[in-house]
Structure 1
Amino acid sequence: MRVLGNEYNRNELAGAFGDLGTLIPFLAAYITVNRMDPLGILVSFGLFKIFVGQYFKTPFPV
């Protein structure tokens, strides 16, 4: 599938989840040590990723 000059295929989908192996342990430790609300961190992180992806017109890995 091609949208606005970007091609979305199974490689893009796999790459979108490629960083979860490092992101999840980091966020779990950060939330535990600082006793922060996980909802606030995850929502703001997700919104930031959407904004950056729209700005650069490219999929941004999680």
Structure 2
Amino acid sequence: MEKMIEIKLVRGLAARSKREKATVRSLGLRKPGQIVVRKADPCTLGMVRKVAHLVEVREVEGVEI
């Protein structure tokens, strides 16, 4: 089974750059408080690193897509 991470948007996107907004949208997040589960692959981890100040991340076990 692949590693999965849970990503939660904890800060709003008002007054954020277009690049940050696009990165958050590509993770599947739209509103503060929304949570998505994604594979922990290098692409996803890179996007999370770019917007680390806007999201919370935790590892999830036992989740399959």
Normalised by the length of structure 2, the TM-score is 0.24
Normalised by the length of structure 1, the TM-score is 0.24
Q: Taking CA–CA contacts closer than 8 Å with sequence separation of 6 or more, which of the two structures ends up with the larger relative contact order? A: 2
**In proportion to residue count, which structure has more strand?**
2
**In proportion to residue count, which structure has more helix?**
1
